[in-house]
Structure 1
C-alpha cells in the first residue's frame, strides 16, 4: 500500500464547526471545534451500543467494534451495512444468526476519553493471544513515522480535542483515522483491515492517545505486535502488553521515546542526536 491511503480531512464540513468566543485578553476569536454525535449500532435485529463519534466511516467503525468485541467472527459473511445519518443508526447484517443478550449484560466502562465499553468475554479471549515474536522495530522508523504523521493535515492539528490512530508498515503510515475517542479510531482501522483483507503481518500501530488497557487489548486482538504512542502509559496497559509480548513505545515526541514492554524487538539504527526536536506547533496541539 502507498503512504496515507486514507487520511483525515480537517476541512470536511460535517466533522467540525467554527465557533466564536473570547480569549484571555477579552479579544474576539473564532476557532474550529470538533463535532460529536451519537451513533447507535445494531447487529442484525439487536441493539448493541450507542457510541459518541465524529461520524465519518460508520461502516468501518461498526465492523471494527463488533470484531474487537468478539461479536463478529473472522469467517462471518456480512450481507449488508445500512447507515442512516439522520437517525444516527448503523445496522450490520450477517448470514449467521446472532444473539448477544447474555454478553451485553456484562460490560466494563473503559478509561477511554469518550467512555468506551467492553462487553463479555474479551479478557478470556485475550489470554490466548500470541503475537509475532519475530517482528522488529527500527528506531529510525519511530522517528520517521512521528515526523510524517505529525506533519499530515488533520483535525488533531487543526482543532485538537480528538485522537488519531494510524496503521503503519516500517516507516510508512498507511491508514490514518481520527475520532473523539481513541477506541473509535482503532475500531475504524480494525474494520478497514477486515473489510479489505489487510494482513496484520509486519504492521505497526501508532496513536496520539494514552496506552491504556483497552488500547492494548484491541491492538493485540488485531494481531499487531508493536504500538507507538505520543502519550503515556497506564500500569495495567503495560502489564497486559508484557503478558502477550507486545512492544509498547510511549512518549514518542521529537527525539525521545520510552519502551516499557517488548524492548527485545528494538533495533537502534540511528543516533537520537541527529533527530530534530519537534516544532512548537505540534507540541501545543499534543497537549490539548
Structure 2
C-alpha cells in the first residue's frame, strides 16, 4: 500500500490568548535506502511519491547512470521496508565517492554540498540552450507553479519544481527536499526520453549552488525562482552559461546571469 503523502496531526493553536484544539495537515517525511547490486549506496529522506523517478534522477546526477533504458536493468521499490533495489547493466563506478554509504537529509546543507563539489566536474553540463522566454511568461510560469502546488497549499512543507516550455508547465514535482524535487524531474525526463535543452526550470525555493548544479546536470539553461540566489550559485551559472532569475513576484524580478535569454 502506498504511504500517505499528507497526514493529520492534533495540534493546539494559540490565538489571542486562547488555546484551541484542532487537527492540522502535515507532510510525510520518509527515508528511502537505495541499494545497488545488494550494497547500500545512500539513504534519502523524501516525500513518498514518484520514488522510482527520484532514484533514477539521483543516480544520474551522481554519475552512476547516464541513460535509463541502457544502464538500468531493474528497479523496484519496497515502500514497507523503505528500500529501493537497483541492478545495473554495468558495474557502478563508485571509486570517486567519498563514502560507501551516505545519509541525505531533507534539508540542504554543507554536508551535502561537500559531496557534490568533489564530483560535479563529471556530471555538470555547460548549457548550449538557445531558448528565450519573455518577461511576461516568467511571471505566468511562476504563477502557474504556485497555483498547482497542492501539497504546499495544504501543508506548507514542500518545495515545488517544474519543467516548462516558454509558456506551459510540462511536468511538476514536489518534495520536502528541494534536491529531491529536481531529481524526480530528472528521473521523469530520463525515463520518458524527454529532451530538456530547450526547456525551463521553474522553482519555488532559493537558487543555491546545489540547485544550480542539479539544473546543470539535467541540462536546463534557464532557472526561474520566486526566491533569492546565492553568490556561489551565480558564479557557477556564469561559468555554465545558465540564465538565473530570482525574486519573481508580482510584476518584478531580478535577472542575475546571462540576461540575453529573457526578452521583452
Question: Given that residues 165 and 177 in structure 1 are in contact (C-alpha distance below 8 angstroms), is that contact kept between their aligned partners in structure 2?
Answer: yes
2:184 and 2:236 mapped to 1: Cα distance? 22
Match of 1:122 in 2: 119
Once the 2 structures are TM-superposed, how far is the Cα of residue 252 of structure 1 from its aligned partner?
1.0
Q: Which among 251, 261, 264 is matched to residue 260 of structure 2?
A: 264
Which one of 106, 109, 113 corresponds to residue 107 of structure 2?
113
Q: Deviations over 1:35-62 (max 9, x none)?
A: 1011001122221110111111111010
1:68 paired to 2:64: no
| C-alpha RMSD of the superposition | 2.4
Is contact 2:31-2:43 (8 Å) kept? yes
In the comparison of the two structures, how many residue pairs are matched? 256
The TM-score with structure 2 as length reference comes to: 0.89
Alignment check: 8 A CA contact 1:111 1:214 kept: no
Runs of at least 5 residues in structure 1 that lack an aligned partner in the other structure: 1-11, 269-288
Task: Summarize deviations over 1:73-106 as a string: whole Å, max 9, x none.
Answer: 2374311111101110001211112241552439
Structure 2 partner of 1:41: 34
Deviation of the 1:70 alpha carbon: 0.7
Q: Which residue does 1:24 correspond to in 2?
A: 14
Q: How many Å separate the matches in 2 of 1:33 and 1:238?
A: 33
Alignment deviations for residues 120-176 of structure 1 (CA, whole Å, 9 cap, x no partner): 74232257x321252212112111112222222511111112101111111100111
**Distance in 1, Cα, partners of 2:153 & 2:138:** 19
- Unpaired segments ≥5 residues, structure 2: none
1:119 to 1:44, Cα distance in 2 relative to 1, 3 A: farther
Bigger drift between 179-188 and 39-48 goes to 39-48
Mean alpha-carbon deviation: is it higher for 132-141 or for 231-240?
132-141
Contact 2:208 2:230 in 1 (8 A): yes
